[in-house]
Structure 1
Amino acid sequence: MGVGGHFWDMLKPYGHYEGWGFLKNKRVAVDLSYWIVQHETAIKGLARKPHLRLIFFRTINLFSKFGAFPVFVVDGKPSPLKSQARIERFYRASGINLSSLPPVEEGVSVERNGIFKKYVEECVELLELLGMPVLHAIREAEALCAQLNREGHVDACITADSDAFLYGAKCVVKRLTPNSKLALLQCVAFFFSVLVRNQDNA
């Protein structure tokens, strides 16, 4: 879901760019929904199944160009907080006044739309045919990605959801650019204690 405000800007001092070799022989947890959402702005309209094309080529790039070993993570049932955020996003996009939005009750979740769920199912089927490990999170995928990173099962998380840090992620790859000359990664190595120390000194 991501942290509001200018959280990524706060993390910039702890981030840096890396080249092709950064992920070589490393295990990475990939937030699958993050990649699928990107197809909406990347290649939609240029391919019959743009979400499958994007997942296929990015997975191949992780192996062939970056030398990484990915494990893909799929979102589970959204929490009431995430459901509320999705509804608010829909209201804003529709031009509806947010003051008329009733709060989402505890225990109630709002699933993604049917088209997106179909995209996820098709991508999971493709990844399993490619022999890729796919994990299904109980809640948010970025939370499970962060847990895998925090416990040392993977070396990094690939996600644009900044709340991965709040779940304890140590290294987040926000952007992969395998088609550029430098194939740079935007990697933020973040330690929560640094932020706490900065707040204490404020």
Structure 2
Amino acid sequence: MGIPGLYQEIGPGKRLALVKLAIEKYEETGRPLRIAIDTSIWLFQVRAAQGPALQTLYYRLLRLLSVSIQPLFIFDGANKPLTKRNKHTAPGGMYILEIKFRQLLNHFGFPYHTAPGEAEAECALLQREGIADAVLSEDVDTLVFGCGLTLRNWSSESPKGKVPTHVNVYDAQVTKQSKSGLDPEGMILVALLSGGDYDTNGVTGFGVKIACEAARAGFGKSLCGISRTDAAGYAKWRERFNFEVQTNESKHFKSRHKSLKLPKTFPKLDILEYYTNPVISDAHGVAKLREELTWEGEIDIVGLRQFVAEAFGWKYKVGAKKFIRGLAPVLLVHKLRLRGNRRESGYNDPILTDMNEIELVRSICGKRAHFATDALPEIRIIFHPNDIVGLDIEAEEDVTHDCRRDGLAPLLEDDAVKASVANNTTARSASPGKRVRLAYDPMQPERVWIAQIIVKAGVPLKVEDYEESLRNSK
């Protein structure tokens, strides 16, 4: 999607752990990192991938919650271009997957917004306006639309890893000053010459490398500065461009290209307008969104439980345990952060504070700086899963028939849950050196690694006691 070959010219950006980006923002501002997410890309990805699409989206939302991100999901609107990558895009209407995903977002308390036109253009606008700190999208068009900070390729840093941990970070200022030397106007020229979403053909003979050379020479900036009605201005621009590309008089290109010439129909003004004047929210719409946006929505545990039972077949007690296992550790992160933000009047009372803290964290049992988080300081805590989720398991029905007919795999075979929880569910067997998996019990203690600053914010006395025990043991 976007402009084929452009990411190769720009480079990979800076590869960073998403949780570290989020924690740095939290340390700097006292709030989580706010990311606008191009939802159309997510929906496209899960439709094209193997496995249940909605369940994949569910685990992505859990992961966002676990790294203290405040997401804002942006959906395509009715006024997006009618044709994209040679395919007709029907305005209006929603697929079942999109409807279900909106329901899921409501249960998580995550905000979403329908753009007037394309989601990626709206995402870029919201980042420029300061509503979002960054945009998460695989589409290079977010850069073309002027996004200042773009995150892409959210994936594992380990070749064998299944859990997404890192992102490629593209800072527009860094990109412009780097070897690529490309700014948004230059990228628009690259799209017009070598092909993009709205015209995949481009101009015959102009590949992405020649197009980037022209962009670095400033031809994109000058092109985008011409008024739509200035036919003479476009003609003069074409004349200068053709002269330079054929003679290379100013040494903008690596060599002369005598056979290359722009046609008199260049640029196609409707295509140029898609990039320079996309359909996005006006100033009033941005102000209204800023005023009405609720970043810290309530997580509807009961609603989520009903949703996964119906949508994923996670029914009966076995399904409830599966639900708790995936949700508990990430909900714990969320509750610790919120507790740090909402210090009640009794917070300074050590006895009351200790009683409140034990509801979340039973004890602390380790510290580390791991490569998966770019050496972010983490603390390992022991907690009781259902103390965090608060689900009435006894109210759930027992299994009355073979669960496999409902698609319920054994709990410990769910790789996504195992990876997201990353805790110990093993015990010593009779054979020395071997460990045997135990059936998951949400009433039994589990362990999880959480960013140190989040743990300190939520249970400061527990952290103080742990650090004192370390000092005393020396």
Shared fold per TM-score greater than 0.5: yes
Residue equivalent to 1:18: 16
Match of 1:135 among 109, 113, 124: 113
Check whether the contact 1:29–1:70 (CA below 8 A) recurs between aligned residues.
yes
Match of 2:146 among 156, 168, 193: 168
TM-score, normalised to structure 1, is 0.73
Bigger CA drift: 184-193 or 31-40? Answer: 184-193
User: How much does 1:123 deviate?
Assistant: 0.4
1:79 & 1:60 partners in 2: Cα distance?
30
Alpha-carbon distance change, 121 to 7 in structure 1, aligned in 2, over 3 angstroms: same
Identity %: 26
Alpha-carbon distance change, 131 to 141 in structure 1, aligned in 2, over 3 angstroms: same
Residue equivalent to 1:6: 5
Bigger CA drift: 174-183 or 134-143? Answer: 174-183
Per-residue Cα deviation, 1:96-124 (whole angstroms, up to 9, x for no partner): xxxxxxxxxxxxx6248x7x722111101
Higher RCO (CA 8 Å, separation ≥ 6 residues) = 1
Residue equivalent to 1:54: 56
Q: 1:187 and 2:169 equivalent?
A: yes
Residue equivalent to 2:456: none
User: How much does 1:180 deviate?
Assistant: 5.0
Alpha-carbon distance change, 199 to 118 in structure 1, aligned in 2, over 3 angstroms: farther
Matches for 1:103-122 after TM superposition, within 5 Å: 110-111=90-91, 117-122=95-100
Per-residue Cα deviation, 1:20-50 (whole angstroms, up to 9, x for no partner): 31133200011111111111343x3x3xxx2
Provide the alpha-carbon RMSD of the alignment: 2.6
1:184 & 1:74 partners in 2: Cα distance?
24
Check whether the contact 1:71–1:134 (CA below 8 A) recurs between aligned residues.
yes
2:99 & 2:45 partners in 1: Cα distance?
16
Per-residue Cα deviation, 1:145-171 (whole angstroms, up to 9, x for no partner): 111111111111011111111221111
Per-residue Cα deviation, 1:176-195 (whole angstroms, up to 9, x for no partner): 12555882211111237542
TM-score, normalised to structure 2, is 0.33
Q: 1:39 and 2:46 equivalent?
A: yes
Per-residue Cα deviation, 1:131-153 (whole angstroms, up to 9, x for no partner): 11010100001111111111111
- Residue 110 of structure 1 aligns with an amino acid whose one-letter code is A
Question: Secondary structure of 1:69's match?
Answer: strand
Residue equivalent to 2:131: 153
Check whether the contact 2:80–2:116 (CA below 8 A) recurs between aligned residues.
no
Matches for 1:48-127 after TM superposition, within 5 Å: 50-64=52-66, 66-80=67-81, 83-86=82-85, 88-89=86-87, 110-111=90-91, 117-127=95-105
2:108 & 2:8 partners in 1: Cα distance?
37
Bigger CA drift: 174-183 or 32-41? Answer: 174-183
1:70 & 1:181 partners in 2: Cα distance?
18
- Residue 11 of structure 1 aligns with an amino acid whose one-letter code is I
Structure 1 unaligned spans of 5+: 91-108
- Residue 216 of structure 2 aligns with an amino acid whose one-letter code is N
Check whether the contact 2:154–2:164 (CA below 8 A) recurs between aligned residues.
no
Runs of 4+ with deviation above 3 angstroms:
178-182, 191-194
Check whether the contact 1:62–1:68 (CA below 8 A) recurs between aligned residues.
yes
Structure 2 unaligned spans of 5+: 24-31, 184-214, 219-250, 253-474
Per-residue Cα deviation, 1:36-87 (whole angstroms, up to 9, x for no partner): 1111343x3x3xxx222122111111121x221111111102433xx2225x
Question: Secondary structure of 2:144's match?
Answer: coil
- Residue 9 of structure 1 aligns with an amino acid whose one-letter code is Q
Question: Secondary structure of 2:126's match?
Answer: helix
Question: Secondary structure of 2:95's match?
Answer: helix
Check whether the contact 1:156–1:173 (CA below 8 A) recurs between aligned residues.
yes
CA radius of gyration, larger in: 2
Residue equivalent to 2:216: 198
Aligned length: 171
